[in-house]
Amino acid sequence: MAMCSGIRRSLAIGLIVAGLTVAAGDDGLAARLAPEALARVAFRNDTDRSIDYLFFSSSTSRFWGADVLGPGRPLLPGQTREFYRASGEIATYDILAIDERIDAHLMLRRAVTDDGVITFTNRTLESGFDLPVLATLTVENRTGTSLWFGFLSPTDSDARGVDILGQDTILFDGRSMTFRIPVGEQEIAFEFVGVDNDGALHRATSVLSDRRLRSTATIRAGTRADH
């Protein structure tokens, strides 16, 4: 995982916005994921336990998306963590947070406003939860450029969710990141969309299931798409 400070990343985002050009009449994905179009959503842990997994998915998808916290990065008690999110997307999401005791906070069709805050409390806690089967998807960046934002979602979703790289991470060329995703018997196709320092998009897809628990999606030079 390639890391940089939040200050450095914020400054870099400003440079991307200043240099971004979108083709005339392009109202597609590139415009929705342009840095100046991104809103923020925050998750706050007001419980006395660490939250180890956090899944944030469009309510229109039949499947859960990836864990946005990442391995070894729990949401500690009293902590708040912010993510970028495509502004203007659908209003409702399904949220599943699993804590250190494998108890869960489940919120279905939760309305999420731009710059909203989702708070987990002891009152939202449900016990007796079973940890889902988790597959791992490794995304390798072989594009020749750094990716400043990354969105990973099931292909049946009409929303991109949050920037899964997080606010302090850049996926540099030649580096990789691994994500945890709940799976079942049915094969699920996931698409990763990365945004580079020109605001252009780079895509890769992969399929996972409980019979295919590990997969690698390599984004190569030439996968650039501006819509």
The answer to whether residue 141 is domain-embedded is no
Query: Which pTM value belongs to this model?
Result: 0.82
The answer to whether residue 159 is domain-embedded is no
Query: Measuring CA to CA, which residue among 208, 211, 214, 219 is closest to residue 65?
Result: 208
Q: How high is the pLDDT of residue 89?
A: 65
User: Along the 227 residues of the chain, how does pLDDT read in single tens digits?
Assistant: 444 444 434 544 444 444 333 333 334 788 888 888 888 899 999 999 999 999 988 888 999 999 999 888 999 999 999 999 877 666 689 999 999 999 999 999 998 877 789 999 999 998 888 889 999 999 999 999 999 999 999 999 888 889 999 888 999 999 999 999 999 999 999 999 999 988 899 999 999 999 999 999 999 875 554 44
The answer to whether residue 97 is domain-embedded is yes
The answer to whether residue 88 is domain-embedded is yes
Q: How high is the pLDDT of residue 31?
A: 81
Domain residues for the domain of 49 are 38-126
Burial class (CB in 10 A: 0-12, 13-18, 19+), 137: buried
SS3 of residue 37 by DSSP: helix
Block residue for tokens 């998009």: 201
The answer to whether residue 5 is domain-embedded is no
The CATH number of the domain holding residue 45 is 2.60.40.2890
User: How many folded domains does the chain comprise?
Assistant: 1
Query: Measuring CA to CA, which residue among 178, 165, 172, 202 is closest to residue 6?
Result: 165
The answer to whether residue 173 is domain-embedded is no
The per-residue pLDDT for range 138-179, each reduced to its tens digit, is 999 999 999 999 999 999 988 888 999 988 899 999 999 999
DSSP tag of 130: P
Q: How high is the pLDDT of residue 127?
A: 86
Please report, as a single letter, which amino acid is at residue 111: A
Cβ–Cβ < 8 Å for 180, 190: no
Sheet holding 92-99, edge to edge: 51-58, 92-99, 104-111, 125-126
Residue 32's H or E segment, with its range, is: helix 29-32
Q: How high is the pLDDT of residue 100?
A: 95
Q: In the chain, how long is the greatest CA-to-CA distance? A: 53
The answer to whether residue 32 is domain-embedded is no
Cβ–Cβ < 8 Å for 111, 92: yes
The answer to whether residue 176 is domain-embedded is no
DSSP tag of 24: T
